[in-house]
Amino acid sequence: MALRYHYLMRIGIIGGGQLGKMLALKAKAMGFHVSILDPYPHAPAALIADRHILGSVHDTRKLRELVDACDITTFDLEDINADALEALEKEGHHIHPSPGLLKIIQDKFVQKQFLADKGIPVPRFQAVDEPTPEAFAAFGYPLVQKLRRGGYDGRGVAVLESAAQVDDHLPGPSMLEEKVEIEKELALMVARSSKGQLKCHPLVEMVFDPEANICDVVMAPALVNKAQEEESIRIASQAIEALEGVGIFGVELFLTRDGRILLNEIAPRTHNSGHFTIEACITDQFEQHLRSVAGLPLGATDLLIPAVMVNLLGAPEVKGKPSILGMREAMDIPGLSFHLYGKAETRPFRKMGHITIVDHDVHQAREKAQRARQILKVTVQN
């Protein structure tokens, strides 16, 4: 069934979180009719969408209801029913990225094995059905244990430096990975259209919160040399070409202390590391994704101005109706843009929003971002 772009093209989004909300905002600006599937009545994207199908992203019947009502279906999270989507795709529905690709990504070991088989440089890894002290010792410390399915934003990951930490391991089928000596953690948004056109946004550097193991700060452009930038682009592009992906993909990479670039993992969707593109690039990641899945030419990805993004995370040990402190003072900082996701409840380290600072000097942008970070606090209403 051929796909033709037309006025009020109907797009379905599986998931209604902040990524779905920002995608829906851009889709409405481009003239799409937007439907979402999400189990929460007050999901962030429900504020924007034309239609909200209330239901689980694993419910076969609800997925069919969404897909049947749309010209194109996409998603803002990986933990969804890929088998049901694969059956719908076989009926002729347009689902991007493809359910087959999604099934590769959903299992971290299958994903890593696929990449290794395609010649993509990755850390040493091994699958274990039952994580045991013997399996860890045989693989060798220090190591990173990742649950094969379901982990995100630092969840489902345990770093074991030695046998003394074996009690900190996670139960369940896992992938063991060598603990790489990392100089920098990098990321690249890579878009590929159904016509095979491929474009990358600027390479960024990610800084992680050590307590929550979650991306905290993103700097664009990454402070790396030209050879490291080119190698990152080559590896990330090769991976998306191998997957024959259609859509935009967040590709996370390691720059090791001995100067190698290794691919860590791929997210088959818009990504936290790409939020800076809203203010800093000609075409942001959300528009690029829509262009990709709708069969439109990809947009220019030039960096107009350096930028630093900071996630606004829920305060530790705080849960309840959110309140943002310091917003007025922070927004007096030149170059600051504020994004609040509209989540009804804050929880420890939950992503509640983000700020982006643009400045002609990335170091100045970083300094301003750190100042804003000290001012802004996510707490609960009294």
**pLDDT (mean) for 320-328:** 93
Q: What fold does the segment set 182-380 form as a domain?
A: D-amino Acid Aminotransferase; Chain A, domain 1 (3.30.470)
pLDDT reported for residue 215: 79
Distance from C-alpha of 273 to C-alpha of 263, rounded to nearest angstrom: 15
Q: Is residue 264's pLDDT more than 90? A: yes
Q: Is residue 381's pLDDT more than 90? A: no
Q: How confident is the model at residue 382 (pLDDT cuts 50, 70, 90)?
A: confident
In this structure, what is the dihedral angle of CA atoms 91, 94, 100, 102, given to the nearest 10 degrees? -140
Tokens standing for 275?
A: 């939020």
Burial 276-304 (b: 16+ CB within 10 A, else e): bbbbbbebbbbbbbbbbbbbbebbebebe
- Say whether domain 10-95 belongs to CATH 3.40.50.20: yes
Q: Is residue 1's pLDDT more than 70? A: no
pLDDT reported for residue 284: 98
240 φ, ψ to 5°? Answer: -70, -35
pLDDT reported for residue 208: 81
**pLDDT (mean) for 349-373:** 95
Q: How confident is the model at residue 212 (pLDDT cuts 50, 70, 90)?
A: low
Question: pLDDT digit string (tens) for 223-252?
Answer: 999 999 999 999 999 999 999 999 999 999
pLDDT reported for residue 127: 97
| CATH number belonging to domain 124-178 | 3.30.1490.20
Same fold? 124-178, 182-380: no
pLDDT reported for residue 7: 57
Q: Residue written as tokens 């996370």?
A: 252
Q: Is residue 144's pLDDT more than 80? A: yes
Q: Is residue 214's pLDDT more than 90? A: no
Q: How far is CA 55 from the centre of its chain?
A: 23
Distance from C-alpha of 163 to C-alpha of 140, rounded to nearest angstrom: 9
pLDDT reported for residue 6: 59
pLDDT reported for residue 317: 81
Q: Is residue 44's pLDDT more than 60? A: yes
Please report, for the chain, the start and end positions of each structural domain, with discontinuous segments joined by +. 10-95, 124-178, 182-380
pLDDT reported for residue 169: 93
Q: Residue written as tokens 């997925």?
A: 63
**pLDDT (mean) for 152-175:** 89
**pLDDT (mean) for 14-42:** 97
pLDDT reported for residue 57: 98
Distance from C-alpha of 88 to C-alpha of 113, rounded to nearest angstrom: 27
pLDDT reported for residue 154: 67
The burial class, CB within 10 Å (0-12 / 13-18 / 19+), for 250 is: buried
